[in-house]
Structure 1
Amino acid sequence: MGERRCALVRVLVLQAAWAVSGGQVRYSVPEEAKAGTVLGRLAQDLGLEAGEAEARRLRLVAQGRRASVEVSGASGALVLSSRLDREELCGKSAPCALRLEVLVERPLRVFHVELEVTDINDNAPVFPAARKNLSIAELTTLPGTRFPLEGASDADIGVNAQLTYTLSPSECFSLDLEKIEEDVESLFLVLRKPLDRETIPVHRLVLMASDGGRPSLTGTMELEISVLDVNDNVPQFNQSVYKVQLPENAERGALVIRLIATDLDEGSNSDISYSLQILSPQDRRDVFGIDRNSGEIRLKGDLDFEDVSLYHLQVDATDKGTPPLSGHCKVVLEVLDVNDNAPEVWVTSLSVPVPEDASLGTVVALLSVSDRDSGANGRVRCWVWPASPFGLEATFAGSYSLVLREALDRERVSEYEVEVRAEDGGAPSLRASRGLRVPVSDVNDNAPAFAQAVYTVLARENNAAGAELARLWARDPDEAGNGRVSYSVWEGGAAAVSASGAAGGGWRPASSYVSVDAESGRVWALQPLDYEELQVLQFEVRAVDAGEPPLCGNATVQLFVLDENDNAPALLPAGSAAEAGGVAGEAAELGAVAAAGAVSGSGTLWAWAAWGAPAGQVVAKIRAVDADSGYNAWLRYELWEPRGKGPFRVGLYSGEVSTARALDEADGPRQRLLIVVRDHGEPARSTTATLSVSLVEAAEAALAAGSSSSLSSLSSLSLSRAAGAGAELGPGAASAATNVWLVVAICAVSSLFLLAVVLYGASRWAPRAAVLSGPGPTTLVCASEVGSWSYSQRHSRSLCVADGAGKSDLMVFSPNFPPPPPPGPAAKDTQPEPSALLDTVSFITLPASHHVPPFLSLLTRPVGCLYFLPGSAPTAFTPVVA
């Protein structure tokens, strides 16, 4: 036992050198070695530095029983983790070698280690049975007669399996070991002298088998020999050894061989029965069967070349004599290989997912391929289907690497189903396959993209703060954070326009009007929009993904504010700049209305009319404006009181108050008119004006008419309000008050006339470019009295409402936007020039006369405007090119 322990502790052979043929490390270890035995310094033998084994994850690829060996993570040594039994691993095969696959990472490499398990004498010889009975006839059995015995078997190999036999001392028997072939021996019990049943009826001997190990192990079998009388001829076979070949796919019941033995005796002593014993392997006793009468050996079980390739059988032929005699022969059956095993494919390592930017040649998986058949039946070829984007590279005998051959694109193919196919060289060939699922991981290589480069959004004014205006969505085909998009207002803005039409607030960023939800892309208003302040807002929305580095995409949003009828008509105040007569005065008038507020109530206005005035004479004009646009700003005038057939009427669209019939004294000294000014919006808004018309003598009326004849473009309402507005005068003081106000009116009219002359002279000598200029070509859009409106796609506003009984509104549009401030920090302090804002749109209202005033011709000639003058019908226009 001491020598055996030394054999277990001592490593018989420890090799740590690279094999020249395949670059593999070989180690040797005796079987039954204790767990924890160090087999070799694997990390050092593989060329790894100290501490590199653990950093590069040196490990074994465990397959089946190879789990008995492990790698120490700290030292990189190859250590035995459990007991190894050579007989369990390899049986009688020699040498017994285990092929191990060793992996290291960064970079991924595979090494092959061969571990040889050497045999120790740990198995004693074993006989097929503990006792064997023999019958030998007395006298007739001559000395030298040989009786075959079943030899012992030893699971060890080599010297440990070399058996020697000894027989207990006997005068009548001895042993003889005959070597028939190189690995086939026959053991015989030899009769040394005739037996005498009367002397010794039964001989009991002990047969001992000893192996060649150190120390030697033994096994015994008891021989019980009965001495019989008579039958002295033994059945004989014509051969002592029969050799047979049978393919492994032979069906059950197939004939293996027919044996015939002869016996020289007669009668029952020559009747032979056959029996079969399987000598090796001893655990396959149910594979073959023999007919006791015919001697035919047939197949009862299945053959498997990969399991057992050679069978040793013993056939006994026994006669029916008394005592019965037996003859023996051996049958050696060789199993022929057929291609009945398909190749086997194992995945030893799989590195997934694969980044879509992985370089060509990247190792995705390591595979091992084998076939249990031999020869051509065991030669295997492998390939990948489909052929792209992966391929196979042979790294060692039976080992392959699955590598990347083509570039990947996760947005095109996010996952590959790869099949590794193997085919052997048999006829017919057998195939096997192994499917691999190779997902592709995402890389941030796609920027968010909007469906449109420009979005047009329509929003009504006076919307609630927080109201949703639009939803924008950008598509990013990447996944996870690389495809998660956030939105923000990037740049853009508008010029804040006051109610007077001037640029009041300067440039304002788009972020002061709208905001974008970072997750949903919902555009919502930060404040109510006012069409009179803002008509068009242009800005950019940026979509940024959460990748590293982040990628972005932009889209332009054009927000058009739609007008609502949210402004009621407002009466122009008396004595405004418009009453000086001129387009410049009318432009300033809207500014005054917006800044100071127009007359929105029903204040009393004054006018004079002469008794006897004919029908159709204009006595006053109601002047009103509406801050809205389009139909919402198209005004109409209605006489509310007195109803019926009164002496006065109001122009539906001009606001001129004229006589409906000739005035007489029956109409009284004063007429109180209630006039309603209403727009065309839905719903319509209105305001009222109270006009008090005093009926005076023709001389007083002529004086008032003479003072106002020099200002044909002024409203008689303005004159009356310049003369005085307030409480009505009593009948006794009316004449004196009228004289005073006439003097004041004459002075005012003279001053205004002088101012008009000065303005006309200044406009004649002023440079034309300073009179009217714009950043681009001008588009003219006209509107008739009956409401045939044409809208501009850009910016529009109305400056004033002109005098005259019949008129048309001339609106001039410029297609140019005010230039937005450049992006960056400097954009916050940048303000557009007021002149640029004013030049973006111009509107001129012409009087209802076919004669164009000289100063209007001067204003419009540089840009080539079109004049649209009304004809007899409200919808008929005559274009005149300046």
Structure 2
Amino acid sequence: MTKTKGYRDWRWKAVWWHHFFLLWSTVEGQTRYGIPEELKQGSVVGNLAKDLGLSLSDIFERKLRVASEAGEQYFSVDAGKGELLVNDRIDREALCGQSASCVLTLQVVAENPLQLHRIEVEIRDINDNSPVFLTAERVLKVAESTATGVRFPLDAAQDQDVGSYSVKSYTLSKNECFSLKMKDLPGDRQVPELVLEKSLDREKQSIHHLLLTASDGGNPAKTGTSKITVSVLDNNDNVPVFKKALYNVSVSENSAVGSILVQVDATDADEGVNGEIEYVFAVHTPQSLLSILKLDPTTGEVALIGRLDYESSAKYEISITAKDKGFPEMEGHCRVQILVVDVNDNVPEIIVTSRPNPVRENAPKGTVVALIGARDLDSAENGKVTLQLPKNVPFTLKPSFSNNYELLTNGPLDREKVSQYNIEITAFDSGSPRMSSKKIISVSVSDVNDNAPVFSQPSYNVYLKENGVPGSILYSVSASDLDSGENAKISYSILDSKVQDVSVSSYVYMNSDNGSIYSMHSFDYEKLKVFQIVVQAKDQGSPCLSSNATVHVFILDQNDNAPTVIYPSSAALGSLSHQRMPRSAKAGHLVTKVTAVDADSGHNAWISYRLAEATDTSLFTVNQYTGEVRTKRAVSEQDESSQRLLIEIKDDGEPLQSATTTVSILLEDGLHEPMLELRHKASEPSKKTGRITLYLILSLASVSVLSLVTFLILAVKCIRSSRSSGRDMMSQSQSFRSCMSPMSEYSDFTLIKPSSTTDFKEAFNNTFNNNRFLQKFE
């Protein structure tokens, strides 16, 4: 009952101390676990997620993984529970040899954001190895005359376990002539020695069989044995004696092959062959030493025949035996301890713990890009490593712990300027001479949508002929985006605006993929001369970015309108069927004036007049530019009373457009007589003269007022029409055309709108009626 209770108390204390140790380690910022070696695969080491303060979702989302500095992957993470598991067999002796402490350093890497945790797992020893002697059987030759108390060194047993599980004791099988003593060596080590307790008598017993047993400190203890055979010999009663029992020598690991490391020296008090000495390595010397060291049997010089490597072994211990040539053969023993001095013969190594993920170009300064480690197999200053980066990269290295570094951003990134950095990292050690190595790490810069699309030009001028085919392409705009992927994928659209109070989308259509603009219908220059389109290019980033450009569309006039005759018009001919002229008219007499307009513009609206047919072509002429019809000669009595003129009006367009009008003229006698009579009677003062003068003054005033009113009405009407049609670029381009006929006897001032032939006719009719009114008083 008491035993069970004590066991429980022991278990409780062990658990308490274990948790206390883990808690202390976590508080110090470094997690440490302890497990025995040889655990089964899948055994739980500890709850890694809980100890690192991570949730179970972080284990999966941040791709938590474990990397070992030893290279072998002994552990893994259970993504479902967040536990650290044993992944492979762990043999403490294979990992740490005879080292008293065996700690595996693990690097736990979490991504998004990149973070490195350091944990340590102490591998505790279990008693899984038995003591082993290098030789299973040892033969000693002892002369029967050997004095009691003489000691004979024996081989020490080796146990791969450490601490309490290493070799703790030796026992010798029961024998009345020999006993076992322990000899203390430096480093708290002991080796067994066989002591002669009783004089030997070869005649009684020539061979003694002994059994040496080594026991470790396990419970139960494990043992190993070695058989010792003692042959009793006659005479040769002096053994070789070394000047030193222990020879210490230090040698550089880069010592040349053939170098003499040490010379041992032994003497024998006997004479002759009994005093001649031969040096040999002890029989238990391992082959690894025999491959690099050579012992001269005559001089005792130990020479180097192989290469030393401090990183493989910093110390060698060998046993040397001096044998004489007497009979029986006698032996003396000494030990040589060789300390290897480290030289800087290993190049530092750069280890990429975590491959760099692409870093966003808008990543803030200090963003972790990659985790990098450094290692040098040399020791002390020779193994101290420093990493350096070039000066022209926007990155820096931040030391973390135990030769581990974080590669951080140290400045602004711009993918459009540099999309990938090949960073050359240089590792230097602190040895002499200094050694270095280089490694290139590629860091890709991922795109963010920080560039808006840019049109090839801020505005475009498009010239389009009127009367085009609906659905034809007007123009193609193009924009580019310095970003990549979806951030550089551009779609085009037209921003809504008004053209003559109608949405611009009813005029044009835009292909969103390639930026081509198409007409929705045919355009008429006489109705619309210019309009503008605001196009937008928008990328597919998040958030999306856009830019605008203006497309000015100019409609080019085509000669699609024939000249329109304003006077004489059909309405005017209805009220005045014939033009009258007196037979007394002289050459150059103004008969009438043909007026026409063309709704086109430019050369297409330049009008010329030509007399196409006439009753008498010798009597009349038409001015090519003004349309004035005048007599070429004086009218004779033989000329017919009724004259008919066919006048052709042509524009200057391509192809040419034309129109014709017919003018009928009546030649009458006596049209001049009222005027002559009026002039004759003007010299005679009378009441009628005063009245006529008054009437004439009133008529002139009426005509002036009527002309002014007509001008004002037309001006207001044109301005209103201009404002109603002018929200496009040509709203201010509607203008008035004034025609002053310099060759006319009458000043005909006409205001017209080019796009309205009806207005021309109305204006001309008003002017024509006014002129008729004046002619009555001539």
Cα distance in structure 2, aligned partners of 1:671 and 1:151: 155
Cα distance in structure 2, aligned partners of 1:757 and 1:123: 141
Q: Which residue of 1 aligns with 2:756?
A: none
After TM superposition, list the pairs within 5 Å mapping 1:347-426 onto structure 2: 347-349=352-354, 352-386=357-391, 389-426=394-431
- The 1:815/1:433 distance shift into structure 2, 3 A limit, reads farther
Deviations 1:760-796 (A, max 9, x none): 53344689698469989xxxxxxxxxxxxxxxxxx9x
Could you tell me which of 447, 457, 462 is aligned with 1:457?
462
- The 1:774/1:118 distance shift into structure 2, 3 A limit, reads same
- The 1:611/1:340 distance shift into structure 2, 3 A limit, reads same
After TM superposition, list the pairs within 5 Å mapping 1:766-781 onto structure 2: 771=715
Cα distance in structure 1, aligned partners of 2:386 and 2:283: 39
* TM-score of the two chains, using structure 1 as the length reference: 0.69
Alpha carbon RMSD of aligned pairs, Å?
Answer: 4.9
Local SS of the residue matching 2:24: coil
- The 1:527/1:52 distance shift into structure 2, 3 A limit, reads closer
After TM superposition, list the pairs within 5 Å mapping 1:188-199 onto structure 2: 188-191=193-196
CA shift for structure 1 position 704: 12
User: Is the counterpart of residue 291 in structure 1 residue 296 in structure 2?
Assistant: yes
Cα distance in structure 2, aligned partners of 1:278 and 1:374: 33
Paired residue type of 2:706: A
Q: Which residue of 2 aligns with 1:509?
A: 503
Q: Which residue of 2 aligns with 1:250?
A: 255
Deviations 1:296-350 (A, max 9, x none): 2222333232331111112233344555443322111111223334444434346
Cα distance in structure 2, aligned partners of 1:351 and 1:87: 36
User: Is the counterpart of residue 681 in structure 1 residue 653 in structure 2?
Assistant: yes
Deviations 1:431-489 (A, max 9, x none): 45554433333333333333443322222233333333333233433332333222211
Q: Which residue of 1 aligns with 2:31?
A: 25
Local SS of the residue matching 2:23: coil
Cα distance in structure 1, aligned partners of 2:37 and 2:673: 138
Deviations 1:235-260 (A, max 9, x none): 33211110011122323333211223
> Could you tell me whether the CA contact under 8 Å between 2:178 and 2:194 is conserved in 1?
yes
Deviations 1:395-417 (A, max 9, x none): 44434433444444444444444
> Could you tell me whether the CA contact under 8 Å between 1:638 and 1:677 is conserved in 2?
yes
CA shift for structure 1 position 174: 4.4
Cα distance in structure 1, aligned partners of 2:335 and 2:111: 57
Deviations 1:239-295 (A, max 9, x none): 111001112232333321122333445555555443335978875542322233433
Local SS of the residue matching 1:18: helix
Q: Which residue of 2 aligns with 1:847?
A: 741
Higher deviation after alignment, 57-66 or 77-86: 57-66
Local SS of the residue matching 1:841: coil
Paired residue type of 1:120: I
- The 1:607/1:764 distance shift into structure 2, 3 A limit, reads closer
Paired residue type of 2:736: S
Local SS of the residue matching 2:536: strand
- The 1:770/1:427 distance shift into structure 2, 3 A limit, reads same
> Could you tell me whether the CA contact under 8 Å between 1:774 and 1:839 is conserved in 2?
no
> Could you tell me whether the CA contact under 8 Å between 2:580 and 2:668 is conserved in 1?
no
Cα distance in structure 2, aligned partners of 1:106 and 1:315: 62
Could you tell me which of 585, 591, 599 is aligned with 1:627?
599
CA shift for structure 1 position 166: 3.5
Cα distance in structure 1, aligned partners of 2:287 and 2:723: 106
> Could you tell me whether the CA contact under 8 Å between 2:581 and 2:668 is conserved in 1?
no
> Could you tell me whether the CA contact under 8 Å between 2:114 and 2:369 is conserved in 1?
no
- Specify every segment of 5 or more residues in structure 1 that has no aligned partner in the other structure, as ranges: 1-5, 496-506, 582-604, 708-753, 777-794, 796-813, 822-835, 860-882
Q: Which residue of 2 aligns with 1:79?
A: 85
User: Is the counterpart of residue 156 in structure 1 residue 50 in structure 2?
Assistant: no
Paired residue type of 1:818: G
- The 1:171/1:548 distance shift into structure 2, 3 A limit, reads same
Q: Which residue of 2 aligns with 1:445?
A: 450
Paired residue type of 2:251: L
Identity %: 39
- The 1:672/1:281 distance shift into structure 2, 3 A limit, reads farther
Cα distance in structure 2, aligned partners of 1:414 and 1:378: 36
- The 1:839/1:262 distance shift into structure 2, 3 A limit, reads closer
Paired residue type of 2:656: R
Higher deviation after alignment, 78-87 or 36-45: 36-45
> Could you tell me whether the CA contact under 8 Å between 2:26 and 2:51 is conserved in 1?
no
CA shift for structure 1 position 526: 2.5
- The 1:706/1:449 distance shift into structure 2, 3 A limit, reads farther
Q: Which residue of 2 aligns with 1:524?
A: 518
Q: Which residue of 2 aligns with 1:712?
A: none
* TM-score of the two chains, using structure 2 as the length reference: 0.77
Cα distance in structure 2, aligned partners of 1:394 and 1:218: 49
Deviations 1:671-690 (A, max 9, x none): 998876544334x3244648
After TM superposition, list the pairs within 5 Å mapping 1:266-305 onto structure 2: 266-276=271-281, 283-305=288-310
- The 1:52/1:526 distance shift into structure 2, 3 A limit, reads closer
> Could you tell me whether the CA contact under 8 Å between 1:672 and 1:690 is conserved in 2?
no
Paired residue type of 1:575: S
Could you tell me which of 548, 551, 556 is aligned with 2:545?
551
Cα distance in structure 2, aligned partners of 1:755 and 1:515: 60
Could you tell me which of 695, 705, 723 is aligned with 1:761?
705
Cα distance in structure 2, aligned partners of 1:667 and 1:294: 165
Cα distance in structure 1, aligned partners of 2:734 and 2:403: 82
Could you tell me which of 70, 73, 82 is aligned with 1:67?
73
CA shift for structure 1 position 536: 0.9
After TM superposition, list the pairs within 5 Å mapping 1:168-207 onto structure 2: 168-170=173-175, 172-191=177-196, 204-207=209-212
Could you tell me which of 463, 467, 473 is aligned with 1:468?
473
> Could you tell me whether the CA contact under 8 Å between 2:321 and 2:332 is conserved in 1?
yes
> Could you tell me whether the CA contact under 8 Å between 2:565 and 2:661 is conserved in 1?
no
Paired residue type of 1:842: F
Paired residue type of 2:741: P
Q: Which residue of 1 aligns with 2:678?
A: none
CA shift for structure 1 position 133: 4.2
Cα distance in structure 2, aligned partners of 1:705 and 1:53: 123
Cα distance in structure 2, aligned partners of 1:851 and 1:328: 154
- The 1:194/1:678 distance shift into structure 2, 3 A limit, reads farther
Cα distance in structure 1, aligned partners of 2:416 and 2:137: 78
> Could you tell me whether the CA contact under 8 Å between 1:137 and 1:232 is conserved in 2?
no
Cα distance in structure 1, aligned partners of 2:55 and 2:514: 55
Q: Which residue of 2 aligns with 1:337?
A: 342
After TM superposition, list the pairs within 5 Å mapping 1:106-255 onto structure 2: 110-134=116-140, 136=141, 138-139=143-144, 141-170=146-175, 172-191=177-196, 204-225=209-230, 231-255=236-260
Could you tell me which of 534, 542, 553 is aligned with 1:540?
534
CA shift for structure 1 position 841: 1.7
User: Is the counterpart of residue 91 in structure 1 residue 91 in structure 2?
Assistant: no
Aligned length: 717
Local SS of the residue matching 1:124: coil
Deviations 1:95-126 (A, max 9, x none): 11122334567776544332211111111122
> Could you tell me whether the CA contact under 8 Å between 2:315 and 2:340 is conserved in 1?
yes
- The 1:425/1:817 distance shift into structure 2, 3 A limit, reads farther
Cα distance in structure 1, aligned partners of 2:572 and 2:445: 76
Cα distance in structure 2, aligned partners of 1:706 and 1:290: 165
Cα distance in structure 2, aligned partners of 1:617 and 1:278: 155
- The 1:28/1:210 distance shift into structure 2, 3 A limit, reads same
> Could you tell me whether the CA contact under 8 Å between 2:584 and 2:672 is conserved in 1?
no
Q: Which residue of 2 aligns with 1:37?
A: 43
Paired residue type of 1:685: L
Paired residue type of 2:447: D
